[in-house]
Amino acid sequence: MTIVELRDVRKVYPLGKVEVEAVKGVSFGLEKGDFVSIAGPSGSGKTTILNMIGCVDRPSAGSVVINGHATKDLKDKDLTTLRHETLGFIFQSFNLIPVLNVRENIEFPLLLGRERVPKKDKAQWIDYLIEEVGLSQWRDHKPNELSGGQRQRVAIARALVTKPEIVLADEPTANLDSSTGEQILALMKKINREMETTFIFSTHDAKIVGLADHVIRLRDGLVIENVRNGKNMGEAVGDLMENSVAENSAMMGSKAPSPADAPKAGS
Ligand SMILES: Nc1ncnc2c1ncn2[C@@H]1O[C@H](COP(=O)(O)OP(=O)(O)OP(=O)(O)O)[C@@H](O)[C@H]1O
Ligand SMILES: [Mg+2]
């Protein structure tokens, strides 16, 4: 099932008298439950794309569809609800609240907006998440008493506390040494498998791109590669169709794609 779809998305930022075209017409679909990497060098448009998927920013043209909702058709109030109920966020700089301890930081998103976790289950759910990210011993500590890797674990638990379907992580390992970064990614992948949460993370670290099921590679605001489970997904909708035909015939053992192998709806 497609959970996120970008259709010919463009983003232009005004910069004084000129305009910067950060994203120049990007189309791709992401499947529910996948572990997705948006990869590319600095300035390629990773953050801009994640911000549009995260409904923090709107495209200048084209559309972003989250769980069947085109974000451009939603009123601000509905966009906020979609954000709160469907999305969780992990940031490069952790963004924890310094005066709150680990447990309180994780609980914090539950205090904003509508509750998705019943009050009676809340304490147990938070305890479960603290255990899941390996911080049981640290639950009463403040962020400044934690290492970078531990802070990012808090941020992962906080992103999951509202039970989002999608977690967005913009360079979640950029402020960590490489072995801690790999541990954090492995933890995200474990949670992705266990809870079936879709993770979308950006990175320019080739090592962690390798852990993804689906890699969207960007350069200068364009998709230069779109590979899911080793199969090229193309970029435009037309390409997607052709590749689905090729995939189907490959599965059926025939080398030459034939129109009779065209995918059926929902396949
Ligand atoms: N608010 C803004 N105003 C003007 N230009 C911007 C703005 N945000 C981003 N840009 C420009 O858009 C382009 C893409 O930026 P973006 O932050 O999406 O890249 P990135 O791939 O996330 O880079 P990095 O790896 O350095 O985080 C860059 O040229 C950047 O300078
Ligand atoms: Mg960025």
Report all structural domains of the chain as residue ranges with CATH numbers, in order of start: 2-229 (3.40.50.300)
For residue 202, how far is its CA from the centre of ligand 2 (angstroms)?
8
State the closest ligand 1 atom to the C-alpha of 45, by its place in the atom list counted from 1.
Answer: 18
Q: Flag residues of the chain having pLDDT under 70.
A: 113-115, 235-267
Is the Cβ atom of 20 under 6 angstroms away from ligand 1? yes
- Predicted local distance difference test score (pLDDT) of residue 262: 45
- Predicted local distance difference test score (pLDDT) of residue 206: 86
- Predicted local distance difference test score (pLDDT) of residue 237: 42
- Predicted local distance difference test score (pLDDT) of residue 260: 44
Ligand 1, atom 11, residue with closest C-alpha:
22
Q: Can you tell me the distance from the alpha carbon of 169 to that of 49, in angstroms, rounded to the nearest whole number?
A: 12
3-state SS string over 17-37? Answer: CEEEEEEEEEEEEEECCCEEE
- Predicted local distance difference test score (pLDDT) of residue 118: 82
Is the Cβ atom of 144 under 6 angstroms away from ligand 1? no
From 9, 10, 11, 13, give the residue whose CB has the most ligand 1 atoms within 8 Å, as the site to mutate: 13
Ligand 1, atom 3, residue with closest C-alpha:
13
How far from 175 is each of 103, 151, 200, 208, CA to CA, in Å?
A: 22, 11, 18, 14
- Predicted local distance difference test score (pLDDT) of residue 117: 80
- Predicted local distance difference test score (pLDDT) of residue 114: 64
- Predicted local distance difference test score (pLDDT) of residue 205: 87
Q: What is the pLDDT of residues 145-156, one digit of tens each?
A: 999 999 999 999
Inter-residue contact 41 to 206 (CB < 8 Å): no
DSSP state of 241: H
Cβ neighbours for 184, distance < 8 A, ≥ 6 positions apart: 149, 152, 153, 156, 172, 173, 176
From 11, 17, 20, give the residue whose CB has the most ligand 1 atoms within 8 Å, as the site to mutate: 20
Q: What is the token pair recorded at 190? A: 């474990």
- Predicted local distance difference test score (pLDDT) of residue 267: 41
- Predicted local distance difference test score (pLDDT) of residue 234: 74
- Predicted local distance difference test score (pLDDT) of residue 87: 95
- Predicted local distance difference test score (pLDDT) of residue 113: 66
Is the Cβ atom of 46 under 6 angstroms away from ligand 1? yes
